Structure 1
């Protein structure tokens, strides 16, 4: 009997161990290949301290291949348990195809404001299918040495910005590091970065969606008019200057300012640049400021996951104070979207997240709904914004092209 009891006990233990191993093996799908070491060395171990039985594999795919590869794995039933979510339409499409679980009411979701959830909700706001993880903020970086040598202060208004640019130009340096060869910076960093101060952030974005405003209205045309003034302050040959060239130009100390996203903080830190940041200048002193605080990535649960219990444990942890602190301080320039108070350690990152205290936050103008038709607005904005910076298209012509393209397929309220 003794041997039988031991055998029976061992069998039960083995079964429990096998069950625990199966239940606790999670795979995270992501396009953030640069974060692999962070997940494996910092984030996953931190989660496992309070959940020691859960095994997690972070399995990233190259950003350019992620969407198609993920779709194939979801269709074939081989996708991971947790899905890192693109903002808006890409993830909404996955939810409509039943590839993402509905997360309303799930533990951890209560720690995010309504504005953070918009990127991963149905158009009516009734269903939320990804937990917000992080945003990126757009603004300007400036070389502290150049500013000190020329006795300059970070500009607060558009007029200040032009005065600073003129002073740098007279000193023989490039005022603004920016190229148009890759086009996307012209749109995603410049146009949707400086634009919110003209169209009043969310007010102007939502007005376009509702049909109450058009791109040909003065508050939108004015952004292209400002961009058209930048050409004299860019480096020679900027139309063939790539994003990498722009980074090198600023990192080498040959340019005083660069319109940038917070994701670039880590790169410039590695290059040893002594730099600071300032928010997009307002039109005139006393104006309320707005920043593009763009929802960048979230995380959801695969409905076909065999480990949903552990998947939701992990999701709850992503919504915690611990995760918010770790992610914000370890992935410099990516800011938690939660309501938790975070002590940001990097000085430039701290200055950027502090803009939230005084400026209204908005997201990229065309991110929600407006990219769904043909001609595709994202593609059009890349073309139009680079053309304006290159002096090849007038501001009003740019506005008319974008509005005419939108009018071909988008009829709000119908």
Structure 2
């Protein structure tokens, strides 16, 4: 009897050990440290509920430290199983270094268009190494109370846009637009890349620039700088020293009427602003012009090629490719719009307003992100400086465009013909 009991205990122990050994914990690397609570409370529980035996830990790093920290971890072999992917070259370099696995054959990849996948593919499109999660859309968020108070309606053309700004400036109750130039990137991202696609005609112009068929000194690329040169007087006193958080605070505290925006602001603004908000797309140059929006492929997730838990990680990525994940993510993070081809019903009215522009405008991505920022000088960061300089009047639109073109032409063969 004693032997039987011992045998039973031994068998039970072995079975328990086998069951325990099957449980896997996956770690996600990300720069989106503001999302931690949403992953912990909404996204991860939904996955774990349908995938017993797989636990997930979301372990973000501060955005400015992410690239360097991730590269160090990958080189040391200590990075997480799942890698949140920035678009284009940052992730492409990780794939080329052997850090990201090829996911071309992952079930669910067929749920994404070629455009959605393009930010996480090799240049020739032969390998896809991250599952697309979301894009962000650019436009302008406005204080509906301020507009109602001043009898304003959202502008559709640039003439109407300046008429609205002039009316707000003349009244004096609000700063017309909340944007500073101290951090530079927002002058380009929420300025140049926001209004620019209406001038260079979105993908048509972006691809022509990559091919060398257009240069940055051509009119479609100089014209947005000419518009930015008019913005300074509408940004309030001291905008030159105003940081990105300063601008966010000016708007959410009700001191500014308009905020040149990316849709990623929606969650934070919903929490901080005590007034109703609306949004309008970048105004077109003239009535009747077709509209273009920056609908920028922003975030995806890939598999660490050295992960010891690759099978479980692939199961997580298959789930990320489903309409279920798209629905949860887009509503947990209003302003991050699903790239999945399945329709997603959004509960946030401001997010719904942004995404509705896809139905009437052509979508494109930021002009500097694919291929054109691989060399030195880096076109993306140079565009930050140029946009801020033009707003401040330190450079003319033509001088800024010429400097950017000569920088690009110094290293990028399709633009050698523009060298001076």
1:205-354 to 2 correspondences below 5 Å: 205-271=206-272, 272-354=274-356
Equivalent residue for 1:47? 47
Greater alpha carbon shift after TM alignment, 155-164 vs 173-182? 173-182
Q: Secondary structure at the match of 2:257?
A: strand
Equivalent residue for 1:185? 186
How far did residue 15 of structure 1 move?
Answer: 3.7
The separation in 2 between residues aligned to 1:35 and 1:244, in whole angstroms, is 18
The separation in 1 between residues aligned to 2:281 and 2:58, in whole angstroms, is 34
The separation in 2 between residues aligned to 1:246 and 1:3, in whole angstroms, is 71
Aligned pairs, number: 412
Q: 1:287 to 1:306 in 2, by over 3 A?
A: same
How far did residue 18 of structure 1 move?
Answer: 2.9
Q: Secondary structure at the match of 1:412?
A: helix
Q: Is 1:95 paired with 2:75?
A: no
The separation in 2 between residues aligned to 1:409 and 1:382, in whole angstroms, is 19
The separation in 1 between residues aligned to 2:209 and 2:330, in whole angstroms, is 32
CA contact (8 A) 2:28 2:81 kept: yes
The separation in 1 between residues aligned to 2:161 and 2:359, in whole angstroms, is 22
Map Cα deviations across residues 34-68 of structure 1 (whole Å, 9 max, x no partner). Answer: 11111111111100111121111111112122111
The separation in 1 between residues aligned to 2:6 and 2:248, in whole angstroms, is 70
1:189-200 to 2 correspondences below 5 Å: 189-200=190-201
How far did residue 302 of structure 1 move?
Answer: 1.2
The separation in 1 between residues aligned to 2:29 and 2:179, in whole angstroms, is 33
Equivalent residue for 2:138? 138
Q: Secondary structure at the match of 2:414?
A: coil
Equivalent residue for 1:175? 176
Q: 1:413 to 1:191 in 2, by over 3 A?
A: closer
How far did residue 4 of structure 1 move?
Answer: 6.6
The separation in 1 between residues aligned to 2:267 and 2:25, in whole angstroms, is 32
How far did residue 19 of structure 1 move?
Answer: 2.4
Equivalent residue for 1:405? 407
Equivalent residue for 1:364? 366
The separation in 1 between residues aligned to 2:185 and 2:67, in whole angstroms, is 19
Greater alpha carbon shift after TM alignment, 66-75 vs 400-409? 66-75
The separation in 1 between residues aligned to 2:250 and 2:32, in whole angstroms, is 26
Q: Secondary structure at the match of 1:281?
A: coil
What TM-score do the two structures reach when normalised by structure 1? Answer: 0.96
How far did residue 412 of structure 1 move?
Answer: 2.4
Map Cα deviations across residues 202-249 of structure 1 (whole Å, 9 max, x no partner). Answer: 111111100000001011111111111112222012111111221122
Q: Is 1:13 paired with 2:15?
A: yes
Q: Secondary structure at the match of 2:377?
A: coil
**Structure 2: 5+ residue runs without aligned partners?**
none
Q: Secondary structure at the match of 2:413?
A: coil
The separation in 2 between residues aligned to 1:306 and 1:375, in whole angstroms, is 38
RMSD of aligned residue pairs (Cα, Å): 1.5
The separation in 1 between residues aligned to 2:181 and 2:116, in whole angstroms, is 31
How far did residue 7 of structure 1 move?
Answer: 4.5
Q: Secondary structure at the match of 1:49?
A: helix
The separation in 2 between residues aligned to 1:307 and 1:166, in whole angstroms, is 59
The separation in 2 between residues aligned to 1:177 and 1:60, in whole angstroms, is 29
The separation in 1 between residues aligned to 2:338 and 2:259, in whole angstroms, is 24
Equivalent residue for 2:81? 81
What TM-score do the two structures reach when normalised by structure 2? Answer: 0.95
The separation in 2 between residues aligned to 1:69 and 1:244, in whole angstroms, is 24
The separation in 2 between residues aligned to 1:164 and 1:31, in whole angstroms, is 37
Q: 1:303 to 1:52 in 2, by over 3 A?
A: same
How far did residue 252 of structure 1 move?
Answer: 2.3
Map Cα deviations across residues 75-123 of structure 1 (whole Å, 9 max, x no partner). Answer: 1212111111111111111101111110112112111111111111111
**Structure 1: 5+ residue runs without aligned partners?**
none
The separation in 2 between residues aligned to 1:336 and 1:279, in whole angstroms, is 19
Q: Is 1:381 paired with 2:390?
A: no
The separation in 2 between residues aligned to 1:392 and 1:75, in whole angstroms, is 42
